[in-house]
Each structure stands twice: as structure tokens, then as C-alpha cells.
């Protein structure tokens, strides 16, 4: 199946951006690891990063018609601000997993609330680059036809 990995604002700076919080992996490192992990399980992974809310809304809308089975989404700061991204995800009804590198609950109070978590399949945060790997593992497990 096709899995979309969506990255929000400032994640293009991963590797050099506050590495004590976000680690040393770059976005390319993370995407390459995820692509290999998806391929090994027989899935196709595509990814998109934008610093602009409207571009993320557009990409989510596109996912309704391009065969995307599931989205891994790190909305970055838009997690805490964006009703528009919430509405887009609700509109397309493509299931998604919310991902954060850092443990947002252990940080500033304004990061404790997410506009997306209650409509996500689940949320993984606090494991650095591994948060994405764990989210993809959960996604692959979910996309597997149930064995009986
Ligand atoms: C983040 C956490 C957000 O609070 C922050 O605005 C980010 C990255 C994370 O992956 O830990 O930009 O989503």
C-alpha cells in the first residue's frame, strides 16, 4: 500500500536544528530509513515536507484521490495551532498516526495540546528518529490483512 509521510514546518532543518532536542539525523536520513523499512514490508513510501500550512492542507486533500492508505504526520508547530489541518484530515478520512521526535508532554505547556491527537489512530512521541520507525511499524502492522 502507499504510505505518505508528511513533515511540517522547520523539519527541513533536522540535523542542525536544536540537536539536543531533535537529534542529529537529517530529514533525508529519516526518509531514507523509512523508505527502506516500508519497502522491506512490501509497501511504497512517499514523503512531503512544507513550512506552509496551505501546502500541507493541499497535500492531505491530494491523499484522498491518490491511493494513500495511511499517513504518518509530524505537524510540528501546527500540531498546537491548526484547525485547518485537523479539518483537512477529517475531510479526507485517510487514517493517520501523529508523530513527534520530542516528548511534547515534557516540554512547554503550549506543546501539551494537539488539535489532531483525538482524530489520529494513535500518537508516538519522545523517541527521536525512532518515533518515525515505531510509527511506521504500527502502520505496517495495521495495513497487514488480519490473519486467522
Ligand atoms: C515536534 C514538536 C513540536 O512541538 C515542535 O513545534 C516541532 C517538532 C517534534 O517532532 O518533536 O517543530 O513536532
Indicate the domain borders of the chain: 2-143
* Sign of the CA dihedral with 118 first, then 122, 125, and 131 last: negative
Q: Ligand 1: which residues within 6 Å by Cβ?
A: 10, 74, 76-77, 79, 100-102, 104, 111
Percent of the chain residues topping a pLDDT of 90: 94
Which atom from ligand 1 is nearest to the alpha carbon of 10?
12
What number is the ipTM of this complex? 0.99
Spell out a b/e string for 17-39, using b for 16 or more CB atoms within 10 Å of the CB, else e.
eeeeebbebbbeebbebbbebbe
| Fold exhibited by the domain 2-143 | Rossmann fold (3.40.50)
Give me the chain's average pLDDT, please.
96
CB 3 within 8 A of CB 45: yes
Amino acid at each position: 500500500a502507499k504510505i505518505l509521510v508528511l513533515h511540517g514546518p522547520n523539519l527541513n532543518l533536522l540535523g542542525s536544528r536544536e540537536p539536543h532536542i531533535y537529534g542529529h539525523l537529517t530529514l533525508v536520513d529519516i526518509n531514507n530509513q523509512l523508505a527502506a523499512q516500508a519497502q522491506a514490508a512490501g509497501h511504497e513510501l512517499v514523503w512531503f515536507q512544507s513550512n506552509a500550512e496551505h501546502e500541507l492542507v493541499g497535500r492531505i486533500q491530494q491523499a484522498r484521490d491518490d491511493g494513500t492508505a495511511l499517513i504518518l504526520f509530524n505537524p510540528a508547530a501546527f500540531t498546537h495551532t491548526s484547525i485547518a489541518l485537523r479539518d483537512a484530515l477529517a475531510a479526507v478520512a485517510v487514517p493517520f498516526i501523529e508523530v513527534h521526535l520530542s516528548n511534547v508532554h515534557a516540554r512547554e505547556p503550549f506543546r501539551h495540546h494537539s488539535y489532531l491527537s483525538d482524530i489520529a489512530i494513535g500518537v508516538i512521541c519522545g523517541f527521536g528518529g525512532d518515533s518515525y520507525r515505531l510509527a511506521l511499524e504500527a502502520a505496517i502492522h495495521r495495513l497487514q490483512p488480519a490473519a486467522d
